[in-house]
Amino acid sequence: MLLPVATRPARPLTKYLRALRFSSSSSSTSASTIAASFLDRFQSLGPQIRTQTLDPNQLRLLSLTLNRPSLFPSSPPLSSTTTDARATNATETEIPAGTPLPPGYHLAYFTPAFLETELGADGTDASYNPSHPFTRRMWAGGEVSWPRDASGGLVNPLRVGQKVTETTRVLSAEPKIVRKTGEEMIVVGVEKEFANEAGVAVVDRRNWVFRKALPPPTPSTTATSTLPPPSPPTPHPASCTTTSSGNTHTRTLTQTAVTLFRFSALTFNPHKIHYSLPWARDVEGHRDIVVHGPLNLISILDLWRDLRGANGSDASLDGLYPERISYRATSPLYAEDKYRIVLEDGVGDDGKKGVVEILTPEGKVGMKAEITSA
């Protein structure tokens, strides 16, 4: 059974966006005032509800984008150009109905749907943006959980072909000030529940940071840029390698510009920092295009499940999904960089926790996470 949601129908988000355009020019630019107004508007709107059937081709393309030729170790190859004899029959590259989505792969579904004219200057959709000038969005972190049944053991996975309902609620909007710079920003907390016929399968809480918008680049700005040159492109995707020493596991990988472009396309994410080098360098001040926060989250979860050898069969499902993962982005990661995901597994009094850091080539922490096993 689906968990109950608000009985009154959710008012269309587009009405809020239209009202936001008219009100933003006359409203106060104080972060606290804008945050309070934003939260009040969304609380009055109530939860936003969408329904979607999980398409197998979207899952196949995501796995290929992640340079994983098979969804699970025991699955047939997904690439149409593989030399594996099993792929001679085209139907073998299709993912059958009922296949469970690996943890984190729900991010390829329920993507934002807006016209280009409705996007912000940085390319982001304005679905959950506070008013101007706090429109410069960054994915700061969050928590994802996979609820179990009443016994606490059996997971309810999202599966290919299921009709799934997404319920989105705005949980918070808090003004913040960066101590070092005095910069104002707004942190917005959003919760998304994904439910199938058996109930809630995934609870995804996201924290977005909204900073003040930057002016568009000018020819003079571009010409006098003092930023370092971007990293040289990698001719072919670097093979990810995984090494272990005791309970510490390290995966080294590189996300290429092609990977970032394909991930942006699959998630319908038009944020320019992920594919436009002029925007990323000359407007946002990055040295190269930026790896997506959700892509880093999936990479962590893939390492976690690879270590457990879960093969996607119903007998192994409970070991395929953690109970939850909490994560926080601390520094940008860039295309073509070779970086490391370091997972220390089996920590805590009960041995059910894993502590993760993603390290840049310079050894700086780009993301922190904690995974709790069921």
Count other Cβ atoms within 10 Å, centred on residue 107.
21
Query: CA-to-CA distance for 5 and 158, rounded, in angstroms?
Result: 19
Q: Is the preceding omega at residue 322 within 30 degrees of 0, hence cis?
A: no
Rg (CA), the chain: 21
Query: CA-to-CA distance for 155 and 318, rounded, in angstroms?
Result: 6
Q: What angle do CA 147, 153, 159 make, to 5 degrees?
A: 55
pLDDT, tens only, 70-103: 999 888 899 876 545 454 444 457 899 999 999 9
pLDDT for the residue 181: 84
Percent of the chain's residues with pLDDT above 90: 62
Contact 361, 339 (CB under 8 A): yes
3-state secondary structure of 16: helix
pLDDT for the residue 347: 86
3-state secondary structure of 340: strand
pLDDT for the residue 12: 54
pLDDT for the residue 237: 53
Helix axes 257-266, 293-308, angle to 10 degrees: 100
Low-confidence ranges of the chain (pLDDT < 50): 1-10, 14-27, 83, 85, 87-91, 222-224
Q: How is residue 89 written in tokens?
A: 């029959």
pLDDT for the residue 262: 97
